[in-house]
A and B are shown apart, each in its own frame.
Chain A
Amino acid sequence: MSERRQLALMLAPYLVGLTALVLVPALVTFGLALTEYDLVRSPVFVGLDNFRELVRDDVFRRAVSNSLVFAAIAVPLRLGAALGLALLLHRRIPGVGGYRSATVLPTVVPDIAYGLLWLWLLNPLYGPINTLLGWGGAANFTWIGYPLPQWLTHSNDARAAIVILSLFTIGEGFVVLLVTRQGLPAELYDLAALEDVTAWSLFRRITLPLMAPVLLLLLARDTIFSLQATLVPALVVTEGGPPLYSTTYVPLFVYRNAFEYLRYGYASAATLLMLILTAAIVLVQLALLRRYRLGNG
């Protein structure tokens, strides 16, 4: 078989997969967004009605604001944690393999198991977190007199819970930053040693600028991730509640409208709006932080 034929064969599965599983569904989303469709009766073309309804839908507006706030809080915290741990663990100290593994382990755990675990940890009465916080204090109060967070029954506590959950699953960013840091030329750090650079200065002038391109990439990826991947925890742990939709994020909104209310068209419209919003945010980030991208990449 000729070289070109073989090359085509090698690429074929991937190309088919990309088309069938990504490109076509993306196009279908566009189409579905303009219909009212419950998968039983044939789709009804409704033009831009879905979008009009979404804009007026209180739950959707709540969902968007929840998602945005979550991303605004969780992304910097996650990236900061991943960076800090990568810088802490990039040098070989005794047991470093174990520490690195520990950092990555929560990311490895299946989403649903992870969610169930936190269901237990966050139980306001019996969960280990509150029993630990409440130790030494009066009933329902911590040792220093603050009331115990009622994780799953108070709206803000529930939101905080979802953020805390996301702080442990930084494995992917951690590994990427770890490898990046290790790839930085050692000579620059030798030079820093000769130039009397303090630890903070070292970080600010050398490490951070050199890692900036990768950090930027991770920022974009984590923003996208955070805006879209709160589905499982919200579904399993807080169930979109506590009442008043405080942890209904956009993915959960889409899921419910599609699979529980059988409004696939409406859900697609919501997805589309969210994708546009996500793209806009990422583009703004890239534009604002343009000067940190190296001239030659």
Chain B
Amino acid sequence: MSVSVVSVEKRFGDVVALAGVTLEAREGELLVVVGPSGCGKSTLLRCVAGLETVDAGTVRIRGRDVTGIRPAARNVSMVFQSYALFPHLTVGANVGFGLVVRETPKEEVRRRVAAAVELIGIGHLVDRRPYQLSGGERQRVALARALVREPDAYLLDEPLSNLDAGTRVEMRTELRRLHREVGATMIHVTHDQVEALTLADRVAVMHAGAVRQVGTPDEVYGRPADRTVAAFLGTPRMNFLTVGDARPFCAVPDGAEAGVRPEHVRLDGEVPARVDLVEVAGGDAYVHLSGGLVARVAADVRPVEGEDVGLGIRREDVHLFDLETGRRVEP
């Protein structure tokens, strides 16, 4: 285990940001912490970095207890949402900043900066100033700066959120490639669930200051541990049915509600419904049905608005959640 927090609590005045969080990022893995705004994910990251002090609990990095240690001594690098590049320094000077401040010999600085810059692919930008770069390029500089120090862990605070959609997808792939090459422990925080599912080795879903589930993307998507996780992951959102709504499809025990992902709502079944609205998004079509369900089908086989269809749901595609606690219930 590489980076772990145990029972960490953090309060800002009356607001509880972290309510006893225990989480571990394994050595060399890319852990993505995902959740809606205000769930505490950024605060958690900052606590790991040491930029916030914890009110209770411990933080360990590579086995060392760093809870009371100042940020610079924790040997972590951080990449910020706003890139945090020094406007008055060139790209090369920005990347080498941490080394220069630690009074590393000039030759070594030059060597390590060159290596980092090559790896990221911004060698040709070394003498430019930040204001001359695009968003994606700036983010690469921030990454290079984090790389050059070869820290024990990389902390990324919503690094892609400021980029436009196209660049974001591009940078996602870049990050994945980088992680594979460097092989270091990375904790990546984001509010974008698609980003989380595509990037991560493992995903930690947070909500209201607590971790709701940790697992591989398949696990958290395919077997959500509670209703909030199920509702947060997936586009369009999971369909939730009460006992009554679900009766035509399957039996739902009392005190529970059923969840079905749109891609599991089949239009070749027996339960009658009418198509209210069809949204086409590239290769997919989202079919809004009377009764409130939403189905996802391939765009080239989509129905027409007003058409009558028959719905079907397989028993094994139904998730059950306790109505009171929201936790997953096994049938």
In the complex formed, the residue of A with least CB distance to B82 is A187
Q: How far is the CA of A210 from the CA of B70 in the complex (A)?
A: 25
Please tell me the number of chain B residues within 8 Å of chain A, measured between CB atoms: 23
Query: How many Å lie between the Cα of A209 and that of B46 in the bound state?
Result: 26
The verdict on A201 contacting chain B, using a C-beta distance below 8 Å, is yes
Please state if B72 and A191 are interface contacts (CB–CB under 8 Å).
no
Segment at the B interface, from A68-76, A90-98, A192-200:
A192-200
B312 sits at the interface (CB 8 A) = no
Asked if B136 lies at the interface with its beta carbon under 8 angstroms from chain A, I say no
Q: Is the beta-carbon distance between B98 and A193 smaller than 8 angstroms?
A: no
Residues of B within 8 A of A185 (CB): 82, 84
- B54 contact set on A, CB distance < 8 A: none
Closest residue of B by beta carbon distance from A196:
B72
B84 touches A187 (CB 8 A): yes
Q: Is B124 close to A, CB under 8 A?
A: no
Residue A110 at the B interface, CB < 8 A? no
| Residue B194 interfacial (CB < 8 Å) | no
Binds A, one of B30-38, B73-81, B196-204, B256-264: B73-81
A196 near B101: Cβ-Cβ < 8 Å: yes
Query: Chain B: which residue is nearest A188 at the CB level?
Result: B84
A195-B72, A196-B73 known; A294-B101 Cβ under 8 A: no
Whether the Cβ atoms of B72 and A205 lie closer than 8 Å is no
Interface size grouping (class) on chain A: 10 to 19
Contact call B72/A210, Cβ cutoff below 8 A: no
A185 to B102, CA, bound (A): 22
Q: Is B21 an interface residue (CB 8 A)?
A: no
Which residues on A sit within 8 Å (CB–CB) of B82? Answer: 185, 187
Instruction: Determine the chain B residues whose CB is within 8 A of the CB of A197 once the complex forms.
Output: 72, 101
| Complex Cα gap A209–B71 (Å) | 23
Q: Give the distance in Å from the alpha carbon of A173 to the alpha carbon of B295 in the complex.
A: 63
In angstroms, how far is the closest chain B Cβ from the Cβ of A196?
Answer: 3
Q: Is the CB of A296 closer than 8 A to any CB of chain B?
A: yes
Given A190-B51, A193-B50, A194-B78, does the pair A296, B72 have CB atoms closer than 8 Å?
A: no
Contacts of B84 in A (CB 8 A): 185, 187-188, 190-191
Task: Decide: A294 and B88 in contact? CB cutoff 8 A.
Answer: yes
When C-beta atoms are compared, the residue in chain A nearest to B72 turns out to be A196
Cβ–Cβ contact A188 & B78, under 8 A: no
Q: Identify the interface centre among A185, A194, A197, A205: most chain B CB within 10 Å of its CB.
A: A194
A296 proximity list for chain B (CB < 8 A): 131
> A195–B86 contact, CB under 8 A?
no
Q: Which residue of B lies closest to A197 (CB)?
A: B101
Selected A-B contacts with CB under 8 Å, 28 pairs: A185-B82, A185-B84, A187-B84, A190-B46, A190-B49, A190-B51, A190-B80, A190-B84, A191-B80, A193-B50, A193-B51, A193-B70, A194-B51, A194-B71, A194-B76, A194-B77, A194-B98, A195-B72, A195-B98, A195-B102, A197-B101, A201-B101, A205-B101, A209-B88, A210-B86, A210-B88, A294-B131, A296-B131
A interface residue numbers (CB < 8 A to B): 185, 187-188, 190-191, 193-197, 201, 205-206, 209-210, 212, 294-296
Chain B residues in the interface with A (C-beta under 8 A): 46, 49-51, 70-73, 76-78, 80, 82, 84, 86-88, 97-98, 101-102, 129, 131
